[in-house]
Structure 1
Amino acid sequence: MSITIIQSMILLSIPALFFVTSWTNEKRAHWNLAMSISLLALLISFVIGIQGILGIHKIGEGVTWATHSPISLVMLCLISFIAFINIRYSRSYMSGNPEDERRYLRWLLITLSTVTLVVVSNHMLVFMAAWIAISTSLHQLLNFYPERQRAALAAYKKYIFAHIAEAFLLVGIICLYLEHETWLISDVVRQLSTQSELTVYGQIAAITISVAALIKCAQLPLHGWLIQVVEAPTPVSALLHAGIINLGGYLLIIFAPLIMLSAPAQALLLFVGGITTVLAALVMMTRASVKVRLAWSTMSQMGLMLVECALGLFELALLHLIAHSCYKAYAFLNSGSEVETRMKKRFAKRAPPSLLDFLVAALLAAVMVTIMAILFKMTTSAFVEHAAHDVIYSPWVLLGIALMLLIAERKSRTGRATFMTMFSFALVVLVAYTLQKIGASFILPQMHNQVGLAGDLWMVMLFIFFLFGYIALRYYKHHPRVVPIWRSFYAGFYLDESITRLSMRLHPTKLPERHKPKQLKIAKGEML
């Protein structure tokens, strides 16, 4: 038996271990065992990945139903790390009610089992079954407090949209099988890599898989459940935002050759993902609740990740997926301290940037980004094999806007920094981003897209719109012309209300009654 087959069998044992461990919590919650399994999964994926890098075995070979490609190993490391942190946090968060602890840990481990099975699976039917199982097990966590009306409504809408996404994904998988006559993802991708155009079945598969990814990532207008699901326990929100909702991006990454041969699929991702990226980011600025702001932020980040996939920047999408997962896990699990942080920001003395600040910052950001873009292009052309030579401008434009705001708003932050301090920090951020992008290119090089310059310009226009919207909502929100715009953004353009009414009309369900708290009765003589 070859070493690759043994390693593949070990990878397949990880979902099985999570699943078996979930059923050991009938009498008491075994938190230490659950944390040990997550650490074991992290160690296994890391060791196999290192062996591939050192050349001990060729990454990507193994038994037919399992895969240990670089992408799957990176995702398995990420999910295992988040699982360990989440389980450790949940141990204290859920303490106090043994019955809730057992029920919570059981469904948490089942969910982790299904997510890891999706990541290590190389068989499309197994992949599909695990994808469906994620929705089923996650539903139990989202509806952990069924007496909460908003939580029940969010879980209900998520369940409906998940089934719609699963139907689209199933159609795409069947079309791929009819076209390539194999259920193995690696064989399908290998055949697609040699094609120059798609057949009818291929186009249908690309479009349906893209739709499934859009729904999975909670893109507009099917986004409301993600905002309302904050009623679930905080560790559930952290797991959802850090390790599950980004599976739509993972789906596009593993089927990258298919997406890159379909102009309609790329156009769909650019249109829906681009609009969601900008609008969700601006809506986030109007909200006060910490968790709600994080939910809108996730929508925007997922939209941007899908846009990167549509433009062929899969190395950037993978880097984005990893960074967003780690950040959102930290942000949700640390949301309790956000109140103190916001109070400090509210009472801090601020000086809004002047026009000169914006102009100087824009000039510096443009120069820095241009130099780094040239260096990145030279490096990837010289050292990265099979990298596309298309120049994609929109990511660098977005990075330039971010650096410009970082430098220009140096006086409006809690701790006022000098110009050189913020300039140096911006330079460090830019260099770190470029180096990480180069590193990710060795795992997943940039690919040629079908939308060309038109898609790139579409995103540049949206990013410029975001810049003006950001300035208006941040510095001119009390202006008479901006006030109605603020209200529309705060309401999310009432898209979720329309979708909720439509969902309840097509598939009605009974929600729990609103909780009526007991009225405190105080005798008249005791009142002050």
Structure 2
Amino acid sequence: MSLQWIGTLMTWFIPLSLFVVAMMNERKARWQLARVVSFMGLVMTMILGAALYFKWINLGGSEHWLVTSNASILVLGLVTFIGFINIGYSRVYMSGNLEEEKRYLRWLLVILGTVATVITTNHMLVLVIGWIAITLGLHRLLIFYPNRQRAVLAAYKKYIFARIAEACLLGAVLILHYEHGTWFISDIYQDIQVSTHLTNLDHLAALLLALTALIKCAQLPVHGWLIQVVEAPTPVSALLHAGIINLGGYLLIVFAPLIVKSDIAQWMLLIVGGITTVLAALVMMTRASVKVRLAWSTMSQMGLMLVECALGLFELALLHLIAHSCYKAYAFLNSGSEVEASMKRRLSEAEPPTRLEWWVAGLFSLALVVGMILAFNLPEPYSPWLLFAIALTLLIAERRGRLSTTSLFEMSLLAVFLLAVYILQKNGAGLLIPNLPTSVGWQGDLWIATLLIAFMAGYILLRYHQDLPWMKKVRRAFYAGFYLDELVTRLNLRIYPTRLPVRFKPKKLQIPKEELFH
């Protein structure tokens, strides 16, 4: 048996083994077996990654239904790793009710298997079927506690938006098949790369793919369900925020040559994703609940990832996907401890920087980033570097806390170190997937730069000037999320009404007197 066949069988084994174990949970939850299988999938992914890097095997091409890009193996490794961690955490979290354990583990494994299928497939119809299976399986976990009204309402809205996203994805796939005469992603990838311009149908397919990604990543105004599904079990939230919601960005990475040649798709991603990035990050500052803050943070991060794809920075989007998944998995699974840490941070908030400190931090950060751009002759776009400069400015300016203070010199060294690490990681991701030139040019770059400057201004106002009379009204609007979710929820219930579970209030139960005496 050749290495090619061994690599193919190993790739198929990962999702199929998860499906098989999912069907073995009728009598009891087989947690140990599920964890062993997920760990085996992680090991096999590492072996496949090494084999592909050294070109011992080649799983791409129309003769195979597997792995459309080098990034697929990296994302598959991420999914198996998060699945392994999630299963171990869930085993302790869900212990106590045998029926709930069986039902939970069954759907968890189905979701992990379908996500692995979507990542490794080269066939567009398999991609669509897997996408639908993921949302259906996730729906069962989101309503795992069917008596919680907020959880049911959030899952209901997610169900509607998922159907819309799937319709957009199916439409894009059918259009691409009609236009290019193939079901294989790799063939379409090559056809679009060699073509000088897109046809009208290709533009329509790119637009539908952009809409699919925006809906999947819970961008404004279809974001409310993501905020409310924190009613689901904690490991479900970790799975959703660390893996499933990232599929919108992964979809754009897979169809990168198509996206970068469509102006309408790029501008839709830049406008909706850019606005969501800024507003969600500012809304997060007004919330107190740890899980809700993490949910708004996910919205902002997903918006930024879509913006990176629209700017052609696919290496940065891939790096963002990996980093965000690992961070959110840790943050949600550690959310219990995060409550105490959050309280400590509020009690020891940084002292407001002086105007001089803001200027020093801003000029140093800007000089550091601009010097790096000039030294290495880095190409456009430059708005992501502006974002990095803003992050360094906040890091240096807010170095003084009530419990400890870091010197300007130490924080400057940290800024240099972070910039060096960022460049190394970005270049490392570039070995797997290249950046592509886009058609939006400097106009798109200027638009994102303007939004980032607005974010910096909003951050300073919300954090250090919230006591101003007019800022109280502004803060109230941010806290309410500009009431966008309420409007969308009313529209959903008006078009497609549903019945929510009845909440019993034990304090108000009226017990007949005859039942009190037996």
TM-score where L is the length of structure 2: 0.96
The equivalent residue for 2:220 is 220
Asked if the contact 1:221–1:499 (Cα under 8 Å) also holds between the matched residues in 2, the reply is yes
Query: CA, structure 1 residues 471+237, in 2 after alignment: closer, same or farther (shift >3 Å)?
Result: same
Mapping for residues 375-524 of structure 1, pairs under 5 Å:
375-377=375-377, 390-412=379-401, 415-518=404-507
What residue identity is the alignment partner of 2:488? I
Query: CA, structure 1 residues 95+413, in 2 after alignment: closer, same or farther (shift >3 Å)?
Result: farther
Asked if the contact 2:352–2:398 (Cα under 8 Å) also holds between the matched residues in 1, the reply is yes
Alignment partner of 2:19: what SS? helix
Asked if the contact 1:267–1:455 (Cα under 8 Å) also holds between the matched residues in 2, the reply is yes
The equivalent residue for 1:252 is 252
Query: CA, structure 1 residues 162+376, in 2 after alignment: closer, same or farther (shift >3 Å)?
Result: farther
Alignment partner of 1:443: what SS? coil
The equivalent residue for 2:335 is 335
Offset at residue 347 of structure 1 (A): 2.5
Alignment partner of 2:243: what SS? helix
CA distance in 2, matches of 1:16, 1:477: 54
Asked if the contact 2:118–2:127 (Cα under 8 Å) also holds between the matched residues in 1, the reply is yes
CA distance in 2, matches of 1:102, 1:251: 31
Q: Deviations over 1:212-271 (max 9, x none)?
A: 000000000000000000000000000000000010000000000000110110000000
Asked if the contact 1:107–1:137 (Cα under 8 Å) also holds between the matched residues in 2, the reply is yes
CA distance in 2, matches of 1:287, 1:75: 31
Query: CA, structure 1 residues 348+288, in 2 after alignment: closer, same or farther (shift >3 Å)?
Result: same
The equivalent residue for 1:525 is none
What residue identity is the alignment partner of 1:484? K
Gaps of 5+ in 1: 379-389, 522-528
Query: CA, structure 1 residues 77+413, in 2 after alignment: closer, same or farther (shift >3 Å)?
Result: farther
Mapping for residues 2-401 of structure 1, pairs under 5 Å:
2-58=2-58, 60=60, 63-67=63-67, 69-348=69-348, 350-377=350-377, 390-401=379-390
Alignment partner of 2:57: what SS? coil
Deviates more, 1:304-313 or 1:9-18: 9-18
CA distance in 1, matches of 2:112, 2:132: 13
Offset at residue 2 of structure 1 (A): 4.3
Query: CA, structure 1 residues 515+398, in 2 after alignment: closer, same or farther (shift >3 Å)?
Result: farther
Query: CA, structure 1 residues 206+391, in 2 after alignment: closer, same or farther (shift >3 Å)?
Result: same
Asked if the contact 2:38–2:83 (Cα under 8 Å) also holds between the matched residues in 1, the reply is yes
CA distance in 2, matches of 1:26, 1:196: 55
CA distance in 2, matches of 1:357, 1:111: 49
**Identity within the alignment, %:** 57
Offset at residue 67 of structure 1 (A): 1.6
CA distance in 1, matches of 2:273, 2:253: 15
Asked if the contact 1:4–1:61 (Cα under 8 Å) also holds between the matched residues in 2, the reply is no
Q: What is the aligned-residue RMSD (CA, Å)? A: 1.6
The equivalent residue for 1:524 is none
Asked if the contact 1:4–1:62 (Cα under 8 Å) also holds between the matched residues in 2, the reply is no
TM-score where L is the length of structure 1: 0.94
Asked if the contact 1:175–1:202 (Cα under 8 Å) also holds between the matched residues in 2, the reply is yes
CA distance in 2, matches of 1:315, 1:517: 55
Asked if the contact 2:68–2:254 (Cα under 8 Å) also holds between the matched residues in 1, the reply is no
Query: CA, structure 1 residues 2+185, in 2 after alignment: closer, same or farther (shift >3 Å)?
Result: farther
Alignment partner of 1:481: what SS? helix
Q: Number of paired residues?
A: 510
CA distance in 1, matches of 2:375, 2:496: 54
Asked if the contact 2:23–2:106 (Cα under 8 Å) also holds between the matched residues in 1, the reply is yes
CA distance in 1, matches of 2:19, 2:161: 25
Q: Deviations over 1:431-484 (max 9, x none)?
A: 111111111112111111011000000000000000000000000111111110
Query: CA, structure 1 residues 2+132, in 2 after alignment: closer, same or farther (shift >3 Å)?
Result: same
Asked if the contact 1:62–1:68 (Cα under 8 Å) also holds between the matched residues in 2, the reply is no
What residue identity is the alignment partner of 2:329? A
Asked if the contact 2:22–2:110 (Cα under 8 Å) also holds between the matched residues in 1, the reply is yes
Asked if the contact 1:161–1:222 (Cα under 8 Å) also holds between the matched residues in 2, the reply is yes
The equivalent residue for 1:384 is none
CA distance in 2, matches of 1:119, 1:368: 38
